[in-house]
Structure 1
Amino acid sequence: MFVILPASLANVSISLSLSAFCCTEMVPSNLGEEMSTEVALPPEWEDDERMDFLFSDFKESRDVSTTDWDSKMDFWTSLILKICRSRGTVYVNLQELNKIFQRKGIMPLGLATVIQCMARCGKIQRESEFAANVDCGWVSWGVGLLLVKPLKWTFSTLLGSSGVTLKELFVVIELVKEKAAELLGVYRSSPVANHSLLSFQELRTLSSHVCVDESTLCMALLQLQREKQVTVSLHGGEKIVKFSQPGQNHVSPVSDVDLGIYQLQRSERLLEERVEALGLEAEKYKEEARVLLREGKKSQALRCLRSRKRVEKKADHLYAQLENVKEILDKIANSQTDKLVIQAYQAGVSALRLSLKDVTVEGAESLVDQIQELCDTPDEVNQILAGGALNSTDADTDGLEDELRFLLENSSLDEPSTLPEVPSHPLTPVRESGSFCDDLLSALPSVPQSHFNITDDELDKERSRITLADTGLQQKYRTSPVKRAEPAQ
């Protein structure tokens, strides 16, 4: 039976080298070697009764015994994932699984059913199907991904084949995603993380401790390409890998600038290696000249020194070229940094423009005036309240001022000069009872008993003086309240 291939597929098969598509089946180089080594099997592996059940074939229908079916399926599925993860591989095939799980010369009978169930659940996928799901021309760069794989997948789809062959490779999706994440982390933590492009061989060396073989690396790259974190292209017969940079949601296509930078970086590495080699060669000529000089071969020693000078001159010339390349790379790096700064400025200006969209100078002035008016209102209210309190006390203030004035006018009565002189003779005891006049008379000096030669006119003047003094004292006692003695408690 003949099958007519599409024109595009035929063109791809013709354009690619025959050496890349000469094999009929591709198995990772270390898969069989790894699978043949000892594996960590579960403790129940020594239970004969349990293992007899697990090694038996599945029932034709899951409905016959759902619990037994699910128990057996979960056991083999988890064990397959554990074995692949411990070995660092993302591939499984029925032939190697039969070798791994062979027990006392007996192979499990239900592994084909396990693989089919895992494929239906999306836990594993045929290598060709996995690669075909990537929306890029994976055939143009795939290493180990042969054209017979998609053809075989096409034939099995057309013919309705759903069986599992012994050597057919399946990719464990969960492990591929883990490897892809590890590969991206290794690149971003490496010294070449600032390089926009890497060659496939450089990446292979860089990720040798993560991807155990080249096919695993290809699967991880395909997963990253599906996640738009990596793009792989073929330029000048060389496979080039470009990773997304930090802060980018997806990787950008390979541009002419990227290729130019890649060529400069490659030239830089080659020049560094050449300069180092010339330095070692010059040192070698120097040592040979020293040995020949010790042996007395002066002419040969001079030739070695001339060769050393020539090599050093060539090394200086290459070193100057290396410095020029490094200077160009520095300028490119600075220009990219300036570009990022300009983009940040543009984003800042746009954000500032949006934030100040509804803000104007007139609006700000109006707002300040309103704030000032609101601030003045409490001051005016306080002033009005304070003024009302002062006006309410005007009447009381006037009364207090009149009383103060009256006290000042009468304060002259309390001066000592207006009082009579203090008598110098002892005073007679004061009677407990009596009028004010009696008290006053008792305080006066005794009337002399002797006869004085005093006329009647003089007596009248003395009486008038005493009367006036008495009148003034009475008026004083009327105007000044007398503090009564409080009774004893």
Structure 2
Amino acid sequence: MKNYFPKCWEDDERMDYLFSAFRGEKNTNPHDWDTKINFWNSVITAYCRSHKTVTVNCETIIEEFRRKGKVPLCVGQVLDELIRIKKLESVNYVIASRGWLSWSFHVFISTPSSWLFSRFWKKPTAYPSGVYIHRDLLKEYANSLLEAHHNQVQCDLADNLVTYEAVKSLSSDFCKDSTTLDLILSYLEKEKKICIGYSGDGSKVVKFTDGPNSTVQAISEADFGIIRLKKTIEMLKLQISKLVEKKKKLHQEAKTALKEASKTKAKQALRKKLSTEKMIENSEQTLATLEQLQDEIKTAESQKVILSAYEAGASALRKTLSDQRLRPDIVHNTMSDVQEVVEMCQDISTIMQDKSQELEQSYMGEESLDQSDLEAELAALLNSQADSDNEEYATSSATPVRDKGDTPLRRRPIASANKFDVDSLPDVPSHNIQEDGDKQVRQLLSS
């Protein structure tokens, strides 16, 4: 069994069903149609992978699926359906340019007339004819080629432009011939992922994009100069390798001539050997100069990338500062406003504190004035009261004073309303009335 056949290929009952023709129309039996179309589409895809190709020849592929002398009766309609749903595309889908002209060219010229005829007047088992491209595989292989190239790129300027032979080496895992590679390159060129050109000696060169998401630029004179430089380096390396082999061979000839006692042949071989060594030395010096020049190109590209990064960073920072209104004039004005507001707040606080002290002093001054007048008036009253008390004390000094040891006098009942009982009065105070009055005044002022 071939490696692209599924495991059920040995199941006779299952394969008899899958080899049979479709049962009815698609809208009446969708399950039967979907099952067979999905199966044969997977088999065709596996066939293309196994043969490292993206093309399907409708006339010959049927024989690839022959089983026990039988061919699948439904493959014609399967291919027809795959073409209709764009799983299989005409070759001109890749080669022709876009637009109305390419569409008309695809429909009326490039598509085989036999298939156009069978498209409308075909029998149920009629097969499409011609070569078609497996569209999904074409995109997959194109992406694989781009990825393989970008994985080995060290310098965009020097490494994105490569020879056709280098591209062929990159695609060897999924391309068996140049036809498949050319279809992949045509698809990538149409998608603007590569640019194909020809150097001065007529050899094909391919320029890739800088990245998987960018578009390629046209090949310039500088690109061709880089290609010539790379070719010269490769040529010198090959030349040096051949000269080294020639040197070894001449050395061996000289040794053989000495063994044969032929000094003349030995001298001639050694003379050629010295000449070869000189050529190797000159070639190595030239190679070193060219490789240094190539390194300078890569360095220039790195510096270009760094400069671009600086420019992008400066632009981003400038935009960020602009969006956040962080400009020197705005910051200066804002800080000046802040300083002005702070000074204003300090002035307000100072004014409020000074005015508060003035109000307090004013209030306390009026209060002290009132208190001094009150104190003077109270002092005058106390003095007059003291004088009157002294006079009363002088008039009553003849009245016997009770000793401290005597019992206090008790109030006696008044005999009549017109007669006052002196004995009922309290004792005369012995303390200084003036001092008590001053003390009370001071307490009043302090409170």
Q: Calculate the aligned-residue CA RMSD, in Å.
A: 4.5
Matches within 5 A, 1:387-402: none
Q: Which runs of 4+ in 1 moved over 6 A?
A: 149-152, 377-394
Establish whether residue 363 from structure 1 lines up as the match of residue 325 from structure 2: no
For residues 53 and 158 of structure 1, what CA distance do their matches in structure 2 show?
26
Match in the other structure for 1:245: 210
Establish whether residue 153 from structure 1 lines up as the match of residue 105 from structure 2: no
For residues 53 and 354 of structure 2, what CA distance do their matches in structure 1 show?
93
1:279–1:315 CA contact under 8 A, matched in 2: yes
Match in the other structure for 1:183: 145
For residues 295 and 150 of structure 1, what CA distance do their matches in structure 2 show?
78
**CA distance change for structure 1 residues 234 and 154 in 2, over 3 Å: closer, same or farther?**
farther
Query: Which letter maps to 1:371?
Result: V
**CA distance change for structure 1 residues 214 and 314 in 2, over 3 Å: closer, same or farther?**
same
For residues 23 and 56 of structure 2, what CA distance do their matches in structure 1 show?
23
Unaligned residue ranges in structure 2 (runs of 5+): 362-403, 406-430, 440-447
Secondary structure, in 3 states, of the residue corresponding to 2:66?
coil
Match in the other structure for 1:311: 276
Match in the other structure for 1:169: 131
Q: Deviations over 1:408-451 (max 9, x none)?
A: xxxxxxxxxxxxxxxxxxxxxxxxxxxxx99xxxxxxxxxxxxx
Match in the other structure for 2:182: 218
For residues 342 and 258 of structure 1, what CA distance do their matches in structure 2 show?
21
Match in the other structure for 1:228: 192
For residues 279 and 273 of structure 2, what CA distance do their matches in structure 1 show?
10
**CA distance change for structure 1 residues 214 and 134 in 2, over 3 Å: closer, same or farther?**
farther
Query: Which letter maps to 2:224?
Result: L
TM-score scaled to structure 1, two decimals?
0.62
Give the deviation of 1:377 after TM superposition: 6.3
2:31 maps to which of 39, 42, 67: 67
1:268–1:326 CA contact under 8 A, matched in 2: yes
**CA distance change for structure 1 residues 157 and 52 in 2, over 3 Å: closer, same or farther?**
closer
For residues 347 and 44 of structure 2, what CA distance do their matches in structure 1 show?
86
TM-score scaled to structure 2, two decimals?
0.67
For residues 147 and 188 of structure 2, what CA distance do their matches in structure 1 show?
12
Matches within 5 A, 1:451-462: none
2:86 maps to which of 122, 131, 138: 122
**CA distance change for structure 1 residues 60 and 179 in 2, over 3 Å: closer, same or farther?**
same
Q: Deviations over 1:8-46 (max 9, x none)?
A: xxxxxxxxxxxxxxxxxxxxxxxxxxxx94434143751
2:146–2:212 CA contact under 8 A, matched in 1: no
Match in the other structure for 2:40: 76
Match in the other structure for 1:424: none
**CA distance change for structure 1 residues 157 and 94 in 2, over 3 Å: closer, same or farther?**
closer
For residues 333 and 132 of structure 1, what CA distance do their matches in structure 2 show?
36
For residues 256 and 128 of structure 2, what CA distance do their matches in structure 1 show?
66
Give the deviation of 1:150 after TM superposition: 10
Match in the other structure for 2:71: 107
Match in the other structure for 1:397: none
Query: Which letter maps to 1:198?
Result: V
Unaligned residue ranges in structure 1 (runs of 5+): 1-35, 139-148, 395-436, 439-470, 480-489
1:331 maps to which of 291, 296, 307: 296
Give the deviation of 1:215 after TM superposition: 2.3
1:196–1:258 CA contact under 8 A, matched in 2: no
**CA distance change for structure 1 residues 153 and 362 in 2, over 3 Å: closer, same or farther?**
closer
Matches within 5 A, 1:369-408: 369-375=336-342
Q: Deviations over 1:181-226 (max 9, x none)?
A: 1111111123687423222122112321232332222222222222
For residues 104 and 334 of structure 1, what CA distance do their matches in structure 2 show?
64
Match in the other structure for 2:373: none
Establish whether residue 89 from structure 1 lines up as the match of residue 56 from structure 2: no
**CA distance change for structure 1 residues 363 and 341 in 2, over 3 Å: closer, same or farther?**
same
For residues 158 and 80 of structure 1, what CA distance do their matches in structure 2 show?
19
Query: Which letter maps to 1:186?
Result: A
**CA distance change for structure 1 residues 152 and 42 in 2, over 3 Å: closer, same or farther?**
farther
1:132–1:150 CA contact under 8 A, matched in 2: no
1:90–1:171 CA contact under 8 A, matched in 2: yes
The answer to which of 383-392 and 115-124 deviates more is 383-392
Query: Which letter maps to 2:333?
Result: S
Query: Which letter maps to 2:147?
Result: G
Q: How many residues align?
A: 368
2:115–2:129 CA contact under 8 A, matched in 1: no
Query: Which letter maps to 2:178?
Result: E
For residues 329 and 179 of structure 1, what CA distance do their matches in structure 2 show?
31
Secondary structure, in 3 states, of the residue corresponding to 1:284?
helix
1:196–1:262 CA contact under 8 A, matched in 2: no
For residues 299 and 66 of structure 1, what CA distance do their matches in structure 2 show?
91
Query: Which letter maps to 1:62?
Result: K
Give the deviation of 1:126 after TM superposition: 2.0
